[in-house]
Chains A and B, each alone.
Chain A
Amino acid sequence: MVKKTINLNVNGKQYELEVEPDIKLVDLIREKIGLTGTKIGCNNGECGACTILLEGEPVASCMMPAFKAHGKNIITVEGLGTAQNLHPLQKAFLAYGAVQCGFCTPGMLMSAKALLDKNLTPTEQDIRQSISGNLCRCTGYKKIVDAILAAAAELRGEHEVKWPVTTGEDVVGSSVTRVDGIPKVTGESKFANDYYFPNMAYAQALRSAHPHALIKNIDIEKAQALAGVLGVYTSKDIPGPNIVGIMPHIKDTPVLAGDKVRHYGDAVALVVAESAEIAEEALRMINVDYEPLPGVFSVEDAIKEDAPKVHEGGNMLLHRKMYRGDIEKGFSEAAVIVEDNFKTRMNEHAYIEPEAGVALYEGGILKVYTITQGAHYHRGEIAVNLKLPVSKVRVIQTTTGGGFGGKIDVSLQVLVALAAFKTGRPVKMAYSREESMITSTKRHPYYMHYKIGARSDGKLTAVQAEIYGDTGAYGSHGPGVLTRTAASIVGPYEVDNLKVDAYCVYTNNPVAGAMRAFGSPQASIAYEALMDELAQKLGISAVEIRRINGYKKGSVIPTGQVLTDGVGFMETFERVVEKSGFNR
């Protein structure tokens, strides 16, 4: 391809570069100029992490050919302020807790700057409008809005943002300055995809074409022959057992699927090439001969006797029983019994930073810089599958752009390690948003049957529940999640007699695993609705029935544990009642 000359001014500095005519602006900024503060979250112009200012206006640099900036001025987060001389917006973001994972922060700051450059007296509505193209999964936006209001006040010369936050030695009970805050507002923080090494190669995985199929043959010959391809690997190339799984007794997930695929997210081959584009092209040249199998896509179907088996041992991964007290006696004491079925949907964590990692194999040491919420677990899986002693594997957690439980499981860590191990080159692997969605774990969809009884004074007497969690193609944290549900089957409410059967079921759906509150939210949909119904039937208020049953000091939880200290529920509940004014 014939390169073209582009001229542009970035953060006040003039650049003249020879680049490919189809390079995108975000890639030019990150890879040719080396300013990695601008992030790639979706490559679709939806998330706003790549926001930069073009002639003062915020635009999505992931959607823009670089040549649209030819002859123009650009400002990135690196042009806002430095660690020594922070812009009021940067100070305010730190002071108000608007920076958490930090991945959306650079784009958010750019949108905020564009607003304040035009309007120093914005209303909250103006601010919300200005950042409406920037997604954040950590803060809930409130802190960001507050920070922008505070920065505007400082820029108007009214009052300065209090910074730094920490004063003196005594930090207990007071706000403290975030230790990794400054690099997150200046764009200097290095997320996994921000690592570049000389001579770096790129890996990409071929994903399954079927939700359930046998693999008859994988023809990699053509892909291997493509110029720029360093290697194409399949399950046969993995030195170790080719199996991972976060729960030590449930290792059921192949690194590269060998004889069978169980969902669309399964990787069947790995390509390592001189560039991500070549790797992508090589993926299209791999020919996989599948024999499609009937699949199961709901718990109802999966538990049928003649259902297709996702794994050899059958689709029932776990039956957790939590029985306590005397369930029949409990219901016989009840003045009112309510009963219903509930269903919840799958949720995606949607951290703004997609999975990424860079691996290096040097001097017998395999080093992996990667997103993770469990570096030690990932290190173990890499060591086992590459047959290396654990002492020769290092997993370095990079600044991680949101996880919410979704970055605990192994995603690309073993794959990128394999790529470096085989080629001897530094190798980067970065998922697209689509690949992240297909492969990452989700919140378990639930099917629940509940029956709850209460005395006429509102006290709960018995709970019976059958819970089915769809864990998808692999176990992941499923058994843990279902166990947690059983243990918090009526959340923060006391009940002495209970019979809970929780089932974790395999299907050919995306894998479900850990996600914020780990099995508790699904149950709350059911029991909170039924608590309201009980209150209605008993003629007491929804608030009162929760006061009667809420955990207090000395309460016994479903597992039999006695709560002795720091229970906190009633205090929290009363504050919610007070603040919301709800009293029905």
Chain B
Amino acid sequence: MYWENYYLPETVDEVLKHLKDSNGNTRIMAGGTDLMILVRKGMVKTQGIIDIGNIKELKYIREEGKYIKIGALTTHSQLAESALLKKKARVLALAAGCVGSPQIRNAGTIGGNIVNAHSAADTAIALTALNAQARIKGPEGEKEKPLSELYTGVGKSFVDPTKEIITEFVFETPGENESTAFMRHAKRKALALPILNLGVWLKTNSGKNILEDVRIAVGPMDYKPLRAVETENMLKGQPLTEKTLKSAQETIIKEIKPRDSFQGRAAYKTDMVKVFLARAIVEAVGDLGGRIDG
């Protein structure tokens, strides 16, 4: 027996009420693609499930003012197929399209992917590169947290699904001379955890030959998506040349700490990070119509 109670609320307010009434022994389920496995294996125990799958108010991708806002119940398929994301924040559409398989993407949601707190979750890498904030509703009201603060340990989320709910992700819409890219390296094209995934957001000057600003997110390296801050600082203000890319490659391998895992050895990941960082920058710059000078 997995659980005794099953609720299918239609509004966020109903969710909050169920959470309050159940006093910590009932938990939220979004798509359930990770949670069902954990429950079946006895790794998560709960008396009840609050299935938030029917809450229409949490399913959207829209642009509002300077921001793109994404409802937490948006599925990976919806993200991957979103014309808005493909045009303005491709890193997220591409990342979502890499998750699991079509079956998983049709059920799994971005909110679930983040609360599951896997450091190399593809959407987490993308949201980190986009410098996204999560909006969380709980008993004490509403709060906003940067994505990087949602991880408290290996597989542990700041968000407690027996008490609170992520409702939305928000990030600044990439504007003029800004672009993104997503790279993923895995043993197979479907149903394989990444050996390495990497998201980049960058901004060039109007001449598209100087990198003004950049954010680089890498997984799986740490208990949370790793921001390659030293590499970012090194890159800022640099001309877009092969030499700059080489320096970035040398810098990033000093600040990442990959581990040996089923997916690949640390030494291999280190080699591959160089390749994928360069590819990501080339692709993002290329998207802006710029190029890397020899």
Contacts and interface: CB of A to CB of B under 8 A. Distances in A.
B80 to A, nearest CB: 11
B154 to A, nearest CB: 21
Interface stretch (B3-11, B13-21, B136-144, B271-279): B3-11
Contacts of B101: 45, 48, 132-134
A63 interface: yes
Interface stretch (B63-71, B102-110, B176-184, B242-250): B102-110
A132 B33 CA distance: 17
Given A45-B104, A59-B103, A67-B8, A133 B1 contact: no
A271 B102 CA distance: 38
Interface in A1-40: 1-2, 4, 20-22, 24
A142 interface: no
B40 interface: yes
Given A67-B8, A132-B190, A133-B191, A60 B2 contact: no
B37 interface: yes
A129 interface: yes
Q: How large is the interface on B (under 10, 10 to 19, 20 to 34, 35 or more residues)?
A: 20 to 34
A60 B6 contact: no
Contact of A21 (B3, B36, B106): B3
A20 B5 CA distance: 9
Contacts of A44: 37
B190 A133 contact: yes
A65 B49 contact: yes
A54 B54 CA distance: 13
A277 B40 CA distance: 11
Contacts of B77: 57
Given A44-B37, A68-B32, A133-B190, A22 B3 contact: yes
B104 A133 contact: yes
B29 interface: yes
Contacts, number: 83
Contacts of A70: 8
A65 B189 contact: no
B73 to A, nearest CB: 12
A458 to B, nearest CB: 38
B37 A21 contact: no
Interface in B9-58: 29, 32-33, 36-37, 40, 49, 51, 53
Which of B29, B37, B49, B103 gathers most chain A CB within 10 Å?
Answer: B103
A54 B5 CA distance: 23
Given A2-B4, A65-B36, A60 B103 contact: yes
Contacts of B29: 65
B103 A4 contact: no
A78 to B, nearest CB: 19
Contact of B6 (A43, A57, A65): A65
A70 B6 CA distance: 12
Interface residues of A, number: 32
A560 to B, nearest CB: 44
Interface string B75-89: 001000000000000
B100 interface: yes
Contact of A132 (B32, B106, B191): B191
Contacts of A22: 1-4, 6
A370 interface: no
A426 interface: no
Contacts of A134: 101
Contacts of B36: 24, 45, 63-65
Given A133-B190, A133-B191, A59 B1 contact: no
Nearest to B77: A57
Given A63-B37, A133-B190, A133-B191, A4 B32 contact: no
A512 B5 CA distance: 45
A134 B100 CA distance: 11
Interface in B152-210: 189-191
A70 B189 CA distance: 32
A132 B102 contact: yes
A70 B10 CA distance: 13
B106 A58 contact: yes
A51 interface: yes
B133 to A, nearest CB: 29
B106 A59 contact: yes
A562 to B, nearest CB: 45
A80 B110 CA distance: 31
A111 B104 CA distance: 12
Contacts of B40: 43
Contacts of B104: 45, 60, 63, 133
A1 B107 CA distance: 27
A373 interface: no
B2 A133 contact: no
Given A21-B5, A132-B191, A133-B190, A58 B32 contact: no
A277 B1 contact: yes
B131 to A, nearest CB: 30
Nearest to A277: B1
Nearest to B75: A57
A275 to B, nearest CB: 10
Contact of B102 (A46, A54, A130): A130
Contacts of A132: 101-102, 189-191
Contacts of B190: 132-133
Given A67-B51, A132-B101, 6 more contacts: A51-B103, A60-B103, A63-B107, A64-B32, A68-B107, A133-B191
24 contacts: A1-B4, A21-B5, A22-B4, A22-B6, A45-B100, A45-B103, A45-B104, A48-B103, A51-B103, A54-B106, A57-B77, A63-B33, A63-B36, A64-B32, A65-B6, A65-B29, A65-B32, A65-B36, A68-B51, A114-B102, A132-B189, A133-B104, A133-B191, A134-B101
| Top 10 A-B residue pairs of the complex, sorted by shortest distance between their CB atoms | A133-B101, A132-B190, A22-B2, A21-B6, A60-B103, A57-B106, A133-B103, A63-B36, A59-B107, A133-B102
Interface of A: 1-2, 4, 20-22, 24, 43-46, 48, 51, 54, 57-60, 63-65, 67-68, 70, 111, 114, 129-130, 132-134, 277
Interface of B: 1-6, 8, 29, 32-33, 36-37, 40, 49, 51, 53, 77, 100-104, 106-107, 189-191
